[in-house]
Structure formats: structure tokens, C-alpha cells
């Protein structure tokens, strides 16, 4: 139970510290993972996993919300309207980018890097297919899918390899290729369950297109 409560204790502790900028946990929606896919009319579709503690002694399970917009800002603003709360990004574990959006990696990275609360240690991972489906599936036995995916990525890569947002921004600024882990979903198990395999892939700068946001 101690290990199950640790993520929630960390979340509560950070939100309740400080003075002038203090935010009560009941007043914000704590984002743990976000998946970015292509939306209608060339826009964005985002799937966000939120922390949803059931009771003080229970970690609870994540809940998922989906929204769309012409760009990331619009898509996430639409999500704020659904939640009627401000999204808190300080505990984001993973940004999962769908296969159809890899060419917009620079735009996606710059947007999340601009968020004041977001930790630059958040992992940036690609998906071989729709990222939202992969995020909902999760990985392993973690209560929160985002913790499961982030933990699996860290375990699969060498200790000195951390594909976080800071790494991605530094590589993009220096026009260097991105070596990012990609999640693959495979069937074939006897019990019919899906597995996620992690394979490191290289994304070269010239593969990142210049996309103007299209408004839905």
C-alpha cells in the first residue's frame, strides 16, 4: 500500500506547498499523461489521463478525457471547458505522440516546453499508431497508465538515455536527429491481451515538416 500511495502523496505535497501561488488539489485537474493525435480537418486530438484519487487512503485510477482543436492550445482549452478546472502539468509523466503527428514533433515539443508548470523531465515518446489508444491501454500493473508507460520506457533504455522534453528541445535547437523510443502494440498472446514493445527510432530534422495550425 505504501508504494501505491507514493505518487499521490507526491502530487498532494507539491500542490499544497508555497504561499502566493498556492493551488488546492480540489481546484485543479492533475495531468499525468497526454497523447497527441491528428484530429479532424488537420487539427489536433488530445487524450489526457488525470489523477482521480478515490479517498485519502486509496490511490484510485486514472480517468481519460479527449478534446480536439485546430492547434494544441485550442484542443487543451476545450479540455479546460469540459473539466471546469485548470489543468496542472507539474506531474506529467509522458507525452505520447501518435504516428501521424511525428512530423509535427517540433511544434508539439515547443508548445509543451512553453507551459510554465511542466517539468522538463517529462518523457517524450512516439507511438506506432494512435497515441490515445496506446495511452488508454497503459503498460504493466500500474494503477495509472501514464506511470506504467513511463516506467516501462525508463526500464527499457540505458540509464544515461532519457528522452525527456529537455533533451528533445536541445537536439532540435542544434538541428540534430532525435533518438526517441517508439511503443509498438502487438497481439498474439494466448490470453489475447495486447503487449507493448519499445524500440528506439531516429527522427531526423528534415523529417519534421513546417505546419501552420489549421483551425477546426
Whole-model pTM: value is 0.77
**What are the DSSP calls for 112-138, one per residue?**
HHH-SS--TT-EEEEESS-HHHHHHH-
Domain residue extents for the chain: 28-205
Structure confidence at residue 216 as a pLDDT band (50, 70, 90): very low
- Residue-averaged pLDDT of the chain: 76
* Share of residues in the chain with pLDDT > 70 (%): 68
Environment class of 79 (CB within 10 Å of its CB; exposed 0-12, middle 13-18, buried 19+): buried
Q: Which of 42-46, 103-107, 171-175 has the lowest mean pLDDT?
A: 171-175
pLDDT, tens only, 161-212: 788 988 888 888 888 888 888 888 665 555 544 455 666 666 665 555 443 4
Q: What pLDDT score was predicted for residue 56? A: 43
- Secondary structure of residue 96 in the 3-state scheme: strand
Residues 6+ apart with CB under 8 A from 115: 89
pLDDT, tens only, 31-43: 999 999 999 888 9
Environment class of 19 (CB within 10 Å of its CB; exposed 0-12, middle 13-18, buried 19+): exposed
Environment class of 2 (CB within 10 Å of its CB; exposed 0-12, middle 13-18, buried 19+): exposed
Amino acid at each position: 500500500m505504501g508504494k501505491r500511495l507514493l505518487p499521490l502523496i507526491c502530487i498532494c505535497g507539491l500542490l499544497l506547498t508555497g504561499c502566493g501561488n498556492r493551488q488546492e488539489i480540489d481546484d485543479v485537474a492533475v495531468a499525468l499523461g497526454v497523447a497527441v493525435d491528428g484530429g479532424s480537418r488537420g487539427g489536433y486530438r488530445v487524450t489526457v489521463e488525470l489523477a482521480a484519487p478515490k479517498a485519502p487512503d486509496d490511490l484510485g485510477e486514472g480517468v481519460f478525457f479527449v478534446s480536439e482543436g485546430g492547434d494544441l492550445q485550442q484542443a487543451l482549452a476545450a479540455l479546460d471547458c469540459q473539466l471546469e478546472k485548470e489543468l496542472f502539468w507539474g506531474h506529467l509523466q509522458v507525452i505520447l505522440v501518435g504516428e501521424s503527428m511525428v512530423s509535427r514533433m517540433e511544434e508539439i515539443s515547443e508548445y509543451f516546453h512553453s507551459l510554465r508548470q511542466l517539468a522538463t523531465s517529462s518523457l517524450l515518446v512516439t507511438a506506432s499508431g494512435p497515441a490515445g489508444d496506446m495511452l488508454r491501454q497503459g503498460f504493466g500493473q500500474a494503477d495509472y497508465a501514464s506511470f506504467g508507460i513511463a516506467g516501462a520506457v525508463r526500464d527499457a533504455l540505458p540509464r544515461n538515455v532519457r528522452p525527456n522534453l529537455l533533451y528533445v528541445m536541445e537536439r532540435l535547437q542544434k538541428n540534430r536527429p532525435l533518438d526517441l523510443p517508439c511503443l509498438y502494440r502487438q497481439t498474439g498472446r494466448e490470453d489475447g491481451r495486447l503487449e507493448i514493445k519499445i524500440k528506439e527510432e531516429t527522427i531526423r530534422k528534415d523529417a519534421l515538416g513546417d505546419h501552420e495550425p489549421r483551425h477546426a
